[in-house]
Amino acid sequence: MDASAIRTTTALEDRHWWYLERRRLIAREVRRLGAPGKALDIGAAGGGNTRVLRSCGWQALAVDYSETGVEIARRRGVDAIRADARDLPMADGSHDLVLAFDVLEHIEEDHLAAAEIARVLRPGGTALIAVPCDMTLWSAHDEASGHFRRYDRETLTDLITGSGLVIDSMWSWNVLLRPVVAWRRRSSTGGDVFRLPALVNLGLTAVITAERYLPVRRLPGVSLMLRAHRPPAFSRELDGRGRT
pLDDT at position 112, please?
A: 98
**Tens digits of per-residue pLDDT, 86-135?**
999 999 999 999 999 999 999 999 999 999 999 999 999 999 999 999 99
* Mean pLDDT along residues 160-173: 98
- Whether residue 239 is predicted with pLDDT greater than 70 in this model: the reply is no
pLDDT at position 136, please?
A: 94
- The rounded distance, in Å, linking the Cα atoms of 50 and 58 is 9
Average pLDDT score, the chain: 92
Other C-beta atoms within 10 Å of 165: how many?
27
**Beta-ladder partners of 40:** 61, 98
Among 1-15, 99-113, 226-240, name the one with the lowest average pLDDT. 226-240
Domains, the chain, with CATH or none: 3-229 (3.40.50.150)
The backbone torsions φ and ψ at residue 55, rounded to the nearest 5 degrees and listed phi first, read -65, -20
pLDDT at position 196, please?
A: 86
pLDDT at position 210, please?
A: 97
CA 132 to chain centroid? 9
pLDDT at position 158, please?
A: 98
- Which of residues 146 and 243 earns the better pLDDT score? 146
Name the nearest CA neighbour of 18 among 161, 223, 244: 223
pLDDT at position 169, please?
A: 98
What is the three-state SS of the chain? CCHHHHHHHHHHCCCCHHHHHHHHHHHHHHHCCCCCCEEEEECCCCCHHHHHHHHCCCEEEEEECCHHHHHHHHHCCCCEEECECCECCCCCCCEEEEEEECCHHHCCCHHHHHHHHHHHEEEEEEEEEEEEECHHHCCHHHHHHCCCCCECHHHHHHHHHHCCCEEEEEEEECCCCHHHHHHHHHCCCCCCCCCCCHHHHHHHHHHHHHHHHCCCCCCCCCEEEEEEECCCCCCCCCCCCCCC
pLDDT at position 43, please?
A: 95
In the chain, the percentage of residues whose pLDDT exceeds 90 is 81
**How would residue 11 be classed by pLDDT, with cut points 50, 70 and 90?**
confident
- Whether residue 240 is predicted with pLDDT greater than 60 in this model: the reply is no
**How would residue 241 be classed by pLDDT, with cut points 50, 70 and 90?**
very low
- The rounded distance, in Å, linking the Cα atoms of 100 and 227 is 11
- Whether residue 7 is predicted with pLDDT greater than 60 in this model: the reply is yes
- The rounded distance, in Å, linking the Cα atoms of 190 and 8 is 14
For residue 108, the one-letter residue type is E
**How would residue 45 be classed by pLDDT, with cut points 50, 70 and 90?**
very high
- The rounded distance, in Å, linking the Cα atoms of 244 and 227 is 26
- The rounded distance, in Å, linking the Cα atoms of 139 and 145 is 10
Whole-Å CA distances, 155 to 105, 168, 182, 230: 12, 16, 21, 19
- Whether residue 242 is predicted with pLDDT greater than 50 in this model: the reply is no
